[in-house]
């Protein structure tokens, strides 16, 4: 286990290195002179003030040195200072991360709750109406942008259920229950596309397992239908579903950025978009780096859980 | 994440599809087992929906008597015979704007998918055919690109480069390129072991020609399926970016932008959010059905 985990983590190092390179590059992709973009042409022409900004951003150093300094600081948890407000951007991310993480986790739970039974039912009724209805719903789930579902949900609830609190401040530390309640609707909205992904994986995996000889054996030895389905079928079909959960994690984080905007939630998405509107590029850069690193770590965790779930990997891996 | 695409891969080994038109009308080293594209219901319905959307987008100027920027003295008027889907806050005809938005959404989506298709296929072909160090380096680069949550990187890149049509196409093309590269590489790896490739090499056919004439036609089927599904992602990504104000800029109409504008007047004019949303769902369902249908039609195992 340890060796497998160590190998998986070592493999992630070059990926994280590449991720840091691209995150670093974001600020250098801005067309034109960065200082005049940030502070206006008047300041950029004033050499002393411009020189201060250049120095604060290490822009007076060669590019590789800039990258090295930036990465070294980032590894120590220092992601630089906001170009607009002056304070460090790291704590800002830490302050906005919990809402996004709770939203994503809740959505994942909903996606599994909808997708897993959906996939099992669709597979066992293959070619009949429940299968068609579930796959049709899945097609809609995959084809509808989450922000449209969100806007429609807010609209419908405000008409038919005005007492339901759709928008509101989230204070997870001070009022965890109220915060969770506010996150409930956004989480359901966010979960639909991922629920479809999980449903499709579950259905495909179940269909494959249902055709296995050991399923016939289980039935022949007199095991009940539910037992055969869940103990012999679903248990063996779960592995691809874990893959789906890994795929879904990135999908959910990206979706959260938009859904937060619909519901006015103070998460990573809001932080990032506000930073973009303020042209606060160090904040954008740091947010992309931190969130992507988290997603890479989640995928490592998913891979490690394969190892625990599937004895075959333990022999070969 | 490569597993996610495994359903698309694997089709090539028995398809000698002149589908892309690349090998059309010419003698090929492959025993010609012409691929029949059997029309299945999802393919027919999906293709019809896509053709209808594209047709409406192309014919937009002839279908409406209004201009997408024309500001009438009728803010937020409900649907009527003059304004079939009503007007927005500035008094612009919603139906006209939806039709014209289809033009920018579909062209951004199709151009970025095409960019991803071409660049990804070249990278996948080269990596899969030559293997070794080239392959390893290219695959690590794809790993890095795919490590980012796609929309997050799209937002950051578009914000840095500036939100306009070429930058949208470029960013989204880059984001979707790895999908094609992986499919092309996996298919190439299986095709390159086959006898007709050895025969082509033995006949002294150049590498570039071998790749273009003998490998490419044999890996076309899964790539075409991938293209159809990538367009759906591209439309949804473009809609999300526009919704966030990072897509094609106002006053040019976009579906996502129209939904964003509608949220401020939702209580007064609830119909405003619905019609552009339905337009997005219609087009994306069409491309999704077409992709699923193509997969069934092109998969020799099916």
pLDDT tens track for A26-76: 888 887 777 777 677 777 677 777 777 777 777 778 888 888 888 888 888
Instruction: Single out the residue in A45, A78, A111 at which a domain terminates.
Output: A78
- CA nearest B236 in A: which residue? A145
pLDDT the model gives residue B37: 66
Three-class SS of B84-101? CCCECCCCCEHHHHHHHH
Distance CA A187, CA A110 (A): 8
How much is the pLDDT for B185?
93
- Any idea what DSSP says for residue B217? G
pLDDT band at B155 (very low <50, low <70, confident <90, very high): very high
Tokens of B287: 């491309």
Distance, CA of A273 to CA of A283 (rounded, Å): 10
**Higher pLDDT residue, B76 or B61?**
B61
Range in A30-39, B98-107, B130-139, B278-287 with the lowest mean pLDDT = A30-39
Residue at A84 is within a domain:
no
Q: Which domains does chain B have, with CATH numbers?
A: 104-229+287-302 (1.10.3720.10)
CA distance B76 to B152: 34
Non-local (6+) Cβ contacts of B73 within 8 A are B91
How many distinct structural domains can be found in chain A?
2
Give domain status of residue A270, yes or no.
yes
pLDDT over 50 at B163, yes or no: yes
pLDDT digits (tens, 9 = 90+) for A157-178: 877 877 776 666 666 767 777 7
On whether both A72 and A170 belong to a single domain, the answer is no
> Is the pLDDT confidence value at A85 over 90?
no
Segment (H or E) for A291: helix A281-309
- pLDDT value at residue A167: 65
The band of B282, judged by pLDDT with boundaries at 50, 70 and 90, is very high
pLDDT, one tens digit per residue, over B44-74 is 999 999 999 999 989 878 877 777 776 767 7
Query: How far is Cα B49 from Cα A266, in angstroms, rounded to an integer?
Result: 39
Higher pLDDT, B38 or B175: B175
Please tell me the distance from the alpha carbon of residue A142 to that of residue A134, in angstroms, as a whole number.
Answer: 12
| Residues listed for chain B | 302
DSSP-based three-state secondary structure for B29: coil
| Contact criterion met (CB below 8 Å) for B207 and A111 | no
Angle at A155 between CA A152 and CA A158, to 5 degrees: 145
Chain-centroid distance of CA A109 in Å reads 13
pTM for the complete prediction? 0.86
- Identify the DSSP state of A30: S
Q: Which of B240, B271, B289 to mutate to test the interface with A (most CBs of A within 10 A)?
A: B240
Torsion on CA atoms A32, A38, A43, A47, rounded to nearest 10: -60
CATH assignment at residue A227: 1.10.3720.10
Select the more confidently predicted residue: A95 or B6. A95
Higher pLDDT, B264 or B136: B136
User: Residue A1: inside a domain, yes or no?
Assistant: no
Query: How far, in Å, CA of B45 to CA of B74, rounded?
Result: 38
Same domain, residue pair A65 and A103: no
**Per-residue confidence (pLDDT) for residue B32, from 0 to 100:** 42
Domain termination site, one of A27, A55, A78: A78
Q: Are residues A48 and A131 in the same domain?
A: no
Q: Between the CA of residue B114 and those of B125, B222, B247, what are the distances in Å?
A: 16, 15, 19
Give the end of a domain, one of A78, A109, A137. A78
**What are the pLDDT digits (tens) for A92-125?**
899 999 999 999 999 999 999 999 999 999 998 9
- Residue A253: Cβ within 10 Å count: 26
Cβ(A247)–Cβ(A200) under 8 Å? no
Looking at residue A103, its pLDDT comes to 93
Instruction: Find out whether the peptide bond into B262 is cis, omega within 30 degrees of 0.
Output: no
Does residue A131 sit in the same domain as residue A268? Answer: yes
CB of A248 within 8 A of CB of B131?
no
Do A168 and A273 fall into the same domain? Answer: yes
pLDDT tier at B232 (50, 70, 90 boundaries)? Answer: very high
Mutation target to probe the B interface, by most B beta carbons within 10 A, among A147, A150, A200, A201 is A147
Separation between Cα atoms, residue B269 and residue B287, nearest integer Å: 30
User: Quick check: B147 and A296 CB within 8 A?
Assistant: yes
Residue A148: inside a domain: yes
Is the pLDDT higher at B77 or at A11?
A11
Report the residue count for chain A: 317
Mind giving me the DSSP string for A55-98? HHTTTTS-HHHHHHHHHHHHHTT---B-TTT-SBHHHHHHHHHH
Percent of chain A with pLDDT over 90: 25
Mean pLDDT of A165-193: 79
SS3 B241: helix
pLDDT tens for each residue of B24-46: 444 444 444 455 567 788 899 99
Mean pLDDT value across chain A: 84
Range of the domain at A234: 92-316
User: pLDDT at residue B183 above 60?
Assistant: yes
CA-nearest residue of chain B to A289?
B148
B236 pLDDT more than 50 = yes
Cβ within 8 Å, pair B156-A285: yes
> CB-based contacts of B46: which residues, under 8 Å, 6+ apart?
B285, B286, B287, B288, B289, B290, B291, B292, B293
Position B117 scores a pLDDT of: 96
Does residue A57 lie within any of the structural domains? Answer: yes
Inform me whether the pLDDT recorded for B19 exceeds 50.
Answer: no
Q: Which residue in A has a C-alpha nearest to residue B268's C-alpha?
A: A155
Contacts of B274 in chain A (CB under 8 A): 152
């Amino acid at each position: 286990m340890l060796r497998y985990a160590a190998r998986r983590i070592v493999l992630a190092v070059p990926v994280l290195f590449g991720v840091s390179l691209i995150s670093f590059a974001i600020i250098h992709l801005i067309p034109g002179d960065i200082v005049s973009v940030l502070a206006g042409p008047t300041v950029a022409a004033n050499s002393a003030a411009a020189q201060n900004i250049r120095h604060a951003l290490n822009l007076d150093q060669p590019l590789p040195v800039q990258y090295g300094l930036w990465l070294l600081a980032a590894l120590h948890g220092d992601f630089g200072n906001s170009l607009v407000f002056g304070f460090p951007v790291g704590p800002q991310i830490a302050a906005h991360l919990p809402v996004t993480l709770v939203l994503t986790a809740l959505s994942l739970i909903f996606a599994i709750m909808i997708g897993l039974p959906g996939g099992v039912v669709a597979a066992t009724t293959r070619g009949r109406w429940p299968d068609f209805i579930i796959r049709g719903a899945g097609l809609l789930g995959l084809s509808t942008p989450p922000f449209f579902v969100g806007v429609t949900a807010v609209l419908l609830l405000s008409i038919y259920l005005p007492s339901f609190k759709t928008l509101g401040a989230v204070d997870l530390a001070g009022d965890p229950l109220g915060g969770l309640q506010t996150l409930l609707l956004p989480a359901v909205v966010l979960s639909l596309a991922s629920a479809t992904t999980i449903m499709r994986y579950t259905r495909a995996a179940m269909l494959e397992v249902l055709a296995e000889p050991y399923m016939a054996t289980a039935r022949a030895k007199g095991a009940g239908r539910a037992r055969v389905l869940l103990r012999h079928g679903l248990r063996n079909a779960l592995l691809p579903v874990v893959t789906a959960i890994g795929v879904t994690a990135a999908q959910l984080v990206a979706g959260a950025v938009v859904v937060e905007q619909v519901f006015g939630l103070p998460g990573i998405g809001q932080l990032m978009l506000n930073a973009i509107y303020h042209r606060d590029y160090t904040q954008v850069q740091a947010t992309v780096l931190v969130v992507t690193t988290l997603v890479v770590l989640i995928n490592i965790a998913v891979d490690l859980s394969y190892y625990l779930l599937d004895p075959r990997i333990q022999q070969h891996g | 994440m490569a597993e996610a695409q495994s359903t698309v891969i694997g089709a090539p080994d028995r398809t000698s599809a002149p589908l892309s038109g690349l090998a059309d009308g010419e003698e090929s080293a492959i025993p010609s087992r012409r691929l029949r594209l059997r029309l299945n219901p999802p393919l027919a319905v999906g293709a019809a929906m896509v053709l209808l959307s594209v047709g409406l987008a192309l014919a937009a100027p002839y279908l409406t008597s209004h201009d997408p920027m024309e500001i009438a003295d009728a803010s937020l008027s409900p649907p009527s015979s003059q304004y079939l889907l009503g007007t927005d806050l500035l008094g612009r005809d919603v139906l006209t704007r939806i039709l014209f938005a289809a033009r920018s959404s579909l062209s951004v989506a199709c151009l970025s998918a095409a960019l991803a298709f071409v660049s990804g296929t070249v990278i996948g072909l080269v990596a899969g055919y030559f293997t070794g160090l080239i392959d390893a380096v290219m695959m690590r680069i794809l790993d890095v690109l795919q490590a980012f949550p796609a929309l997050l990187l799209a937002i950051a890149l578009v914000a840095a480069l500036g939100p306009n049509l070429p930058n949208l196409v470029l960013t989204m093309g880059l984001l979707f390129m790895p999908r094609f590269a992986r499919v092309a590489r996996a298919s190439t790896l299986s095709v390159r072991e086959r006898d007709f490739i050895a025969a082509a090499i033995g006949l002294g056919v150049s590498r570039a020609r071998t790749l273009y004439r003998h490998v490419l036609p044999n890996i076309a089927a899964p790539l075409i399926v991938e293209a159809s599904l990538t367009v759906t992602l591209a439309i949804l990504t473009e809609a999300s970016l526009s919704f966030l104000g990072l897509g094609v800029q106002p006053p040019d109409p976009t579906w996502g932008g129209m939904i964003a504008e509608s949220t401020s007047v939702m209580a007064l004019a609830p119909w405003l959010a619905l019609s552009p949303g339905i337009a997005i769902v219609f087009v994306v369902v069409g491309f999704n059905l077409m992709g699923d249908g193509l997969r069934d039609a092109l998969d020799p195992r099916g």
